[in-house]
Amino acid sequence: MPMTKLSLKTQVKEYLLSYIRDKKLQPGDRLLTQRELAEMLHTSQKVAQMALNSLEEEGIIIRRLGSGSFLARRHEMIPRTPNGGRNIFVLIPNLRNPQFSEFAAELETVLLRKSRQMRLMTFHAVSSFREIVNVMVEEGCGGIITTDLPLPLKNFILQHEIPAVLIRLWKMRDNPRKATHEILLNIEDQAKILSEHLLSRGYRRFYLAGGMTNSDGELSFRFQIMQKYLESSGSSVHIIPEKSMSENGLNYESVGRELAMKILKQYQPSSAAVFYNTARALGAMKVFQRLGKNIPQDIAVAGFDNIFPARLVEPELTVTDARYIEAAHRAVDLVLSPHERKETLSIAPLLCCGRSVGHLDKK
Supply the pLDDT for residue 346: 95
Could you read off the pLDDT tens digit of each residue along the chain, which spans 363 residues?
444 456 787 888 888 878 877 777 777 788 888 888 888 888 888 888 888 887 877 667 877 766 778 777 554 444 443 444 789 999 999 998 899 999 999 999 999 999 999 999 998 888 777 778 878 877 788 999 999 998 888 888 888 889 999 999 887 665 656 889 999 999 999 999 999 999 999 999 999 999 865 455 678 889 999 999 999 999 999 999 887 655 456 688 888 999 999 999 999 999 999 999 999 999 999 999 999 999 999 999 999 999 999 988 999 999 999 999 999 999 999 999 877 788 899 999 999 999 999 998 654
The answer to whether 300 and 357 have CB atoms below 8 angstroms apart is yes
Supply the pLDDT for residue 176: 54
Taking CA atoms, 340 is separated from 168, 173, 177, in Å, by 20, 20, 12
Please tell me the distance from the alpha carbon of residue 272 to that of residue 260, in angstroms, as a whole number.
12
SS3 annotation, the chain: CCCCCCCHHHHHHHHHHHHHHHCCCCCCCECCCHHHHHHHHCCCHHHHHHHHHHHHHCCCEEEECCCEEEECCCCCCCCCCCCCCCEEEEEECCCCCHHHHHHHHHHHHHHHHCCCEEEEEECCCCCCHHHHHHHHHHHCCCEEEECCCCHHHHHHHHHHCCCEEEEECCCCCCCCCCCCEEEECCHHHHHHHHHHHHHHCCCCEEEEECCCECCCCCECHHHHHHHHHHHHCCCEEEEECCCCHHHHCCCHHHHHHHHHHHHHHCCCCCEEEEECCHHHHHHHHHHHHHCCCCCCCCEEEEEECCCHHHHCCCCCCEEEECCHHHHHHHHHHHHCCCCCCCCEEECCCEEECCCCCCCCCCC
Supply the pLDDT for residue 31: 83
Supply the pLDDT for residue 80: 42
Contacts 24+ apart (CB under 8 A), 63-70: 63/130, 65/127, 68/30, 68/31, 68/33, 69/30, 69/31, 69/32, 69/33, 69/34, 70/28, 70/29, 70/30, 70/31
* Per-residue exposure over 226-237, b if at least 16 CB sit within 10 Å of its own CB, e if not: bbebbeeeebeb
Please tell me the distance from the alpha carbon of residue 72 to that of residue 27, in angstroms, as a whole number.
5
The answer to whether 240 and 262 have CB atoms below 8 angstroms apart is yes
Please tell me the distance from the alpha carbon of residue 33 to that of residue 48, in angstroms, as a whole number.
9
Q: How would you classify residue 168: left for phi > 0, otherwise alpha for psi between -120 and 50, otherwise beta?
A: beta
Within 10 angstroms of residue 205's Cβ, the number of other Cβ atoms is 17
Amino acid at 230: L
Please tell me the distance from the alpha carbon of residue 266 to that of residue 137, in angstroms, as a whole number.
53
Supply the pLDDT for residue 4: 47
* All domains of the chain in start order, with CATH: 8-71 (1.10.10.10), 87-186+325-349 (3.40.50.2300), 187-321 (3.40.50.2300)
Supply the pLDDT for residue 1: 44
Supply the pLDDT for residue 77: 40
**Nearest residue to 269 (alpha-carbon basis) of 242, 309, 306, 296:** 296
Supply the pLDDT for residue 245: 57
